[in-house]
Amino acid sequence: MAAFIAWYLATGFGCVLMTGAPRSKGEVLGATLVNLLWPFVMAWALFDIVRARLSPTPSDSDQ
């Protein structure tokens, strides 16, 4: 897990800093925050999908 986090941060910073254009601190900070937050958003969405699939749904025979 630690290796994945290190790789993820390195690629995130690499994508931001190695584009060839000078970047402001705000752009670097914004891109870094996006890189850090989107996995949590995706994990929440995946959890929500799994929870919806596992929750019991009323069938036609119950009504």
pLDDT for 53: 86
Closest to 15 (Cα-Cα) out of 30, 4, 1, 3: 30
pLDDT for 27: 75
pLDDT for 15: 57
pLDDT for 38: 79
Read off the pLDDT of residues 2-56 as tens digits, 9 standing for 90 and up. 776 676 666 665 555 555 566 677 777 777 777 788 788 888 888 888 888 888 7
pLDDT for 23: 67
| pTM (predicted TM-score) | 0.45
Domain ranges of the chain: 1-19+29-52
Closest to 11 (Cα-Cα) out of 25, 42, 3: 3
